[in-house]
A and B are shown apart, each in its own frame.
Chain A
């Protein structure tokens, strides 16, 4: 049985950044398992620009961003195995993998970094009426078809959901000669970045229909069109507002879900709020020596933040391998309060914090003129102001080690309306 000090599952931005960080901390006996045929993960199909402004201070496309990290993986001589699918992880870190080169195999690891990313919410999870005709795709599937396979899946398109992939694909399909009739969004606000609404929809005159949804799909063998209706404040369709859009393609951009089948098989506790592993401040899961980072942990809006988080996972895994005790002392819970959907981490060990703690979270709904307040037992630890906080943008608050001394009770992150 092959044995490694560190196994990294996934060779996308999270896995590469974590591997590079661990290698730089002196971990030489490591490997990246990647199921695709090249490093880079989902970035390879994200050919639009906007990546890397934080990390490289310039605007890169997805493949360029991926290649900068892949180059470091090559230069540092970090071993990686492509076309290699991880099937199972046990709580004692035995990992079953399968590949064409080696067949099925079980390897053992002292530490594991989960970096499997996320997947799109499929049609089956949306509960749209109608048959199952050809022509309904998730936006990411269409993105892969267009950008990696050179196949444009349709000519007349409706997009359900205004997540960033849906917005990006509205522009992409338009540039490839398709007519995008509308982007339909259930919520009264878009879940995508504002810049993408400008440069992907407004630039091309594509309407964004907020508080609307697809209520029926017409077509049995092939998609013929969709019925769209306005929804009320309970997201229920309003009678009399139905409108029919003929189309041969419906793209779904209705949210991303961390991909945690392997985490579950390893007995890792998942957070019902993020659908990702519940982790402490070192990004260690509830199984000792197993760390998580990137979109498998919680869905990010910027890859730069994935890379930064993954460096911490890589460094902490290295510390663990070198013998730093896992989770010493008593943990303090970190909880979302008013207006906050989740926090990562969900618990922290003040004693094991070396320098500072990064707390990342999202608000539940857009709030204007509010402050983010981090407190513990009535004591305010941090306050962050902003003109507007929106669910589509992840927020970060950093607490210093000194601030964590002598805390009693839970740490709460909440939004606070400004005094009128």
Chain B
């Protein structure tokens, strides 16, 4: 089976053609770098995404956060829900971990801005 994908590794958005057998990518063409090949392989077998959203302080001030690495695509909503249940205390620095293990993915969540209280 052949699948057409658009690489999301960078803004170039290469059009990838992937030969798929038994839920595995056996060949990838159309990519201009290694990122495209890796993207196609995980996208076919177990797609993942980095998640960005906001966590709130007790006063309701949003603090921008991201997952440190990618989480399974089908866990995105659980990860966001877990982040929303977490209260952040200011001040925070960029990179401060606000959650060690988001929705049992094993992936941490970090603040992406430094904010004073």
Chain A residues packing against B (C-beta within 8 Å): 44, 47-50, 53, 59-61, 63-64, 67, 146-150, 172, 175-176, 193-195, 197-199, 203, 301-302, 393
Contacts and interface: CB of A to CB of B under 8 A. Distances in A.
Given A53-B10, A60-B112, A150-B56, 13 more contacts: A48-B52, A53-B11, A59-B50, A63-B94, A64-B94, A67-B113, A147-B54, A150-B54, A175-B51, A195-B8, A198-B13, A199-B8, A393-B11
Contact of A194 (B6, B53, B56): B6
Of A44, A59, A149, A195, most buried by chain B (CB within 10 Å of CB) is A195
A148 B62 CA distance: 6
A393 B14 CA distance: 13
B73 A203 contact: yes
B11 A195 contact: yes
Contacts of A175: 51, 53, 76-77, 80
B103 to A, nearest CB: 13
Nearest 9 A/B pairs, CB to CB:
A194-B13, A63-B113, A47-B64, A195-B8, A150-B62, A61-B112, A195-B13, A198-B6, A194-B6
Contacts of B62: 146-150
A199 B5 CA distance: 11
21 contacts: A47-B52, A48-B52, A50-B11, A61-B52, A61-B64, A61-B112, A63-B94, A63-B113, A64-B113, A147-B64, A148-B62, A150-B54, A150-B60, A175-B51, A175-B80, A193-B13, A195-B6, A195-B10, A198-B6, A198-B8, A199-B49
Nearest to A40: B113
A172 B73 CA distance: 15
A327 to B, nearest CB: 34
A47 B7 CA distance: 21
Interface string B61-103: 1101010000001001100100000000000001000000000
A287 B62 CA distance: 42
Contacts of A195: 6-11, 13
Contacts of B64: 47, 61, 63, 147
Chain B interface residue bracket vs A: 20 to 34
Contacts of B94: 63-64, 67
Interface in B28-73: 49-54, 56, 60-62, 64, 66, 73
A245 B50 CA distance: 31
A302 B112 contact: no
Contacts of B73: 203
Contacts of B49: 199, 203
B11 A193 contact: yes
Contacts of A176: 53
Contacts of A49: 50, 52, 66
B2 interface: no
B23 interface: no
B105 interface: no
Contacts of A146: 54, 62
Contacts of A53: 10-11
Contacts of A199: 8, 49
